[in-house]
Structure 1
Amino acid sequence: MTTTFATVDAATAAFALHSTADDATAAADTQDHLLVLIEEDLTGLTMAQGTALFAATAAPLGIAAVKRFPDRATAARRIWANLAALSAGQDGTPATAATPEVPPAPEAAPAPAEAARAPRRSRGINLAPKAEAKPCRAGTKQALLVDFLSRPGGASMAELREALTPWKVVTIKSGLSWDMNHQKGYGIRTTFEDGYHRWLATDYAGQGTFHADSHPEDASDKAALLAQNLANGYDPEELFHVYHLVLPAGMDAPQPHTPRAGAKAEVSA
């Protein structure tokens, strides 16, 4: 049985296949892409995004593109089948190509050689706050987003995925742009941190190629842990999107959450 680990840029229909789930997760967080480990991860795509991604995954397999799908579930199933076939490869070994290759047009004149360009890094999500912010109801996913994003160190996608289970990456991004900005009036700012400094700033266990299960206070212990990770393949240039809440002008803290329905009755009882 072939195992598929993929990441998808829904905006451009580009995709990448990875050797392990950890590699795919790190790439998704670093590049701000959709992580695809199961078929259901694709159901959050819009119909237009699903059609475009199917065409991109079908081309290397010689499968004809489609104009539209009857529903998102069908699109997800067809795309997942393509990704699984590409992962298996023609000889039964996992494919490692990061993106599908587009065959050159026949008899096309060779283009002049160009210097290789460095891949453009995603700017993340950066949205200005509205004139005022509205409170969230306590205990909701919106309230959790406010709590995590307003921390001094903000929140990475990996941290948000753990806190907002079972939300997928595409749902969380929608929560940042639609719920936080459009509905509640908060702004969003994205910064970039490597795994080691993210570990220093928060209480999480590790991220990407940096691994840790403790937070020693002594500087020499921290240095030893960093040296151990470097020896084990930690890449300091691997950066992660970290999201922060931006308050409207005149505010110095987020709006307090409103009590859940029935909370007063519980207190009076």
Structure 2
Amino acid sequence: MRFEGTADYVATEDLMIAVNAAIRLERPLLVKGEPGTGKTELARQVADALGLRLIEWHVKSTTRAQQGLYEYDAVSRLRDSQLGDERVADVCNYIRRGKLWDAFEAPEKVVLLIDEIDKADIEFPNDLLQELDRMEFHVYETGETVAARQRPIVIITSNNEKELPDAFLRRCFFHFIAFPDAETMARIIDVHFPDVKHELVRAALTRFYELRETPGLKKKPSTSEALDWIRLLMADDVDPATLRADAKHAIPPLHGALLKNEQDVHLFERLAFMARRQG
């Protein structure tokens, strides 16, 4: 069982090595990188390439680790007992399975995605240490132990918004997805837009990387934003010469796909104004 990329996802050699090492070690793969570099999509592509079902757990700021295991709805049980409902006799009627339970109970091997783990409380990763390490957990309300039938391939993503505990990191295989260079980005664009004009791609990528390297930029545009921009340039049939000509004196065309806050827009407006004055 080896991951070697897919026709729809450009995986670098070091990323494929990391995925296969995590599978071999049977440890969670912790993937970090800038937003929009394909961390979440990696799990989907791994599942697709290996022919496995994908179970996705998208973490929010209010998510608790217990929700990934199960939740006991005591309020509903109390209400039903007051109404004389026969369901109250079986506590299992009030237990809702979480994503980890689904992955553990699956009869076949699955890929489990825990997406953006750094959004949750700092204790969230620690609360999952034993469950991810032993691949089992205890249900106190029923007294049963849920153990994984087949050890799932666990992929965990993080945008590096907060540091993760050392004890959690020790149990993971780590990989940082570096922002793709121009050559890799051209390959990614070719996968998504096979009919794009190569001259347009060269001109757009030159402008794109110049924009990313601008000092003072609050939010650098990501891979997904570059793809959106290329799509718009294709739809409007923008002349590549427009992107190359007088680049320092104007904001890029359709810049709303790249610049996502007013500070960065104002920054480029000022730079363009100063360049015109000096010219």
What TM-score do you get using the length of structure 1 for normalisation?
A: 0.28
More helix by share: 2
The structure number with the bigger radius of gyration is 2
What TM-score do you get using the length of structure 2 for normalisation?
A: 0.27
